[in-house]
Amino acid sequence: MKKKKALITGITGQDGSYLAEFLVAKGYRVVGMVRRSSSINTHRIDSLYEEPWIRDRKMELVYGDLNDASSINRIVRTVRPDEIYNLAAQSHVKVSFEIPEYTSEVTALGALRILEAIVASGVKTRFYQASSSELYGRSRQVPQSEKTPFRPVSPYAVAKLFAYWTTVNYRESYGIFACNGILFNHESPRRGETFVTRKITRAVARIKKGLQDKLYLGNLDAKRDWGYAKDYVEAMWLMLQQRKPDDYVIATGETHSVREFVDEAFRCAELDPKKHVRIDKRYFRPIEVNVLKGDASKARRELGWKPKTSFKELVRLMVRADLEALDREGR
Ligand code: NAP
Ligand code: GDD
């Protein structure tokens, strides 16, 4: 049987790296779109290079940018992927208040550019859009499901709202097999260092090794539904294997405050957070999303997907990975 080909935007990010590994293991040929950077930023997919996968042409990288329609058109036309996973975004909520226009260009119009390229090229492909629980923002409903009205409260979330509806619109207008995965927060040792979970586990490891003394954080009362990224990429793939395209919430169904995450992470390293954690106003946002808690029963029912990793296991594996990384550096 012919190998399936998948195009991943955002392959150098947390989710892109796990998805690439998952698809290669499933026998896909993966093409990753990367943007030009002055320094090497492919550390999350380095392990893929060390495998014989590259030699066997199981994965290749091509230059492109979500802000450059011509590169997207060229890639879609020449690669002719069976599946496209649009994971690229300016994905930091707090930063989106500082660069709102750029965030909209990449995160909102980027999705539109890919969908337009699909229509213009006539390539028969399935499309996954990385939608977000940030869409719910200040929604009054808890837990949030596919039926909960959206109420986005950041430039990032508003951009994701545009991309969400554009995906639905192209599905309904052109019959494209296009799906939104409404993923709640998911973390891992590969999480960017400025997102709160990784900022905490990295600091815990550094404090344990005597490399740092204080950890400065913002709002500790916000609550999130935190899952493990490795579990979540399988849900993306499952969505594109269904008979009909649809939108799905992916979540654990549990919510925990940032404070709980802090306490658990410090407990894992037998440290006292009171001695090390300080509040810094710099890390507060102009408006906060207070509580996110997902209801993923549709995904469980229709995709057969459920999370495999508990909150405590997630915190533990992240702290352990950050400690081991310092050991490897000889710290
Ligand atoms: P991430 O680690 O921040 O990765 C973002 C990726 O997008 C990186 O590969 C980045 O490339 C790429 N990118 C940024 N701007 C680009 C541009 N103009 N053109 C091409 N590529 C660009 O994000 P993540 O946590 O893996 O999340 C993946 C996707 O899911 C994102 O769309 C995010 O908004 C969404 N999402 C994430 C979560 C979560 O909890 N992680 C939850 C819901 C939705 P560089 O490496 O060059 O920066
Ligand atoms: N980043 C950060 N840094 N957040 C902090 C800090 C801090 O020092 N202190 C407290 N927080 C709080 C934030 O105010 C927020 O309520 C919570 O921790 C989580 O922040 P992030 O880890 O930055 O993630 P996020 O929830 O804003 O956004 C992530 O999840 C979304 C899905 O709900 C990102 O991955 C988005 O791309 C994703 O769509």
Which tokens in the block code for residue 286? 């102009």
Best CA proximity match to 114, nearest among 70, 162, 59: 70
> Cis (ω within 30 of 0) for the bond into 143?
yes
- 199 CB under 6 A from ligand 2? yes
CA of 94 to the centre of ligand 1 (A): 14
**Cα(217) to centroid(ligand 1), Å:** 22
Query: What are 43's two structure tokens?
Result: 């550390």
| Cα 250 to the center of its chain, rounded Å | 12
Q: How far is the CA of 97 from the centre of ligand 2 (A)?
A: 13
The count of other CB atoms within 10 Å of the CB of residue 250 is 30
Q: Mind listing the pLDDT tens digit of every residue in the chain (331 residues)?
A: 789 999 999 999 999 999 999 999 999 999 999 999 999 889 999 887 666 555 567 889 999 999 999 999 999 999 999 999 999 999 999 999 999 999 999 999 999 999 999 999 999 999 999 999 999 999 999 999 999 999 999 999 999 999 999 999 999 999 999 999 999 999 999 999 999 999 999 999 999 999 999 999 999 999 999 999 999 999 999 999 999 999 999 999 999 999 999 999 999 999 999 999 999 999 999 999 999 999 999 999 999 999 999 999 999 999 999 999 999 998 7
Distance 243 CA to ligand 1 centre (A): 27
Torsion angle defined by CA atoms of residues 231, 236, 240 and 246, in that order, rounded to the nearest 10 degrees = 110
Structural tokens at position 21: 């590994």
Which ligand has the nearest atom to the CA of 294? 2
User: Rounded to the nearest 5°, which phi and psi values hold at 217?
Assistant: -130, 170
pLDDT in tens, 158-183: 999 999 999 999 999 999 999 999 99
- Residues with catalytic annotation? 132, 134, 156
For residue 241, count other CB atoms closer than 10 A to its CB: 9
Task: Determine the number of helices (DSSP H) and then strands (DSSP E) in the chain.
Answer: 13, 13
DSSP for 182-247, written as a single string: EEPPEE-TTS-TTSHHHHHHHHHHHHHTTS---EEES-SS-EE--EEHHHHHHHHHHHHTSSS---
- The pTM of the full predicted model, rounded to 2 decimals, is 0.98
Which atom of ligand 1 lies at the shortest distance from residue 91's CA? 34
Probe ligand 1: pick from 7, 8, 11, 15, max atoms within 8 Å of CB? 15
Distance CA 14, CA 29 (A): 19
Pocket of ligand 1 (CB under 6 A): 9-10, 12-16, 35, 37, 41, 65-67, 87-91, 106, 130, 132, 183, 185-186, 192
Question: Distance between alpha carbon 204 and the CA centroid of its chain, in Å?
Answer: 23
| Nearest ligand to residue 106 Cα | 1
Which ligand 1 atom sits nearest the alpha carbon of residue 192?
2
Nearest CA to ligand 2 atom 24: 195
Distant-in-sequence, close-in-space partners of 108: CB < 8 Å, separation ≥ 6: 158, 159, 160, 162, 163, 166
Q: Cβ atoms within 10 A of the Cβ of 86, count? A: 25
Which of 91, 99, 103, 196 gets mutated to test ligand 2 (max ligand atoms within 8 A of its CB)? 196
Q: Within a 10 A sphere around the Cβ of 96, how many other Cβ atoms?
A: 24
- Ligand 2 mean position, distance from CA 196 (Å): 6
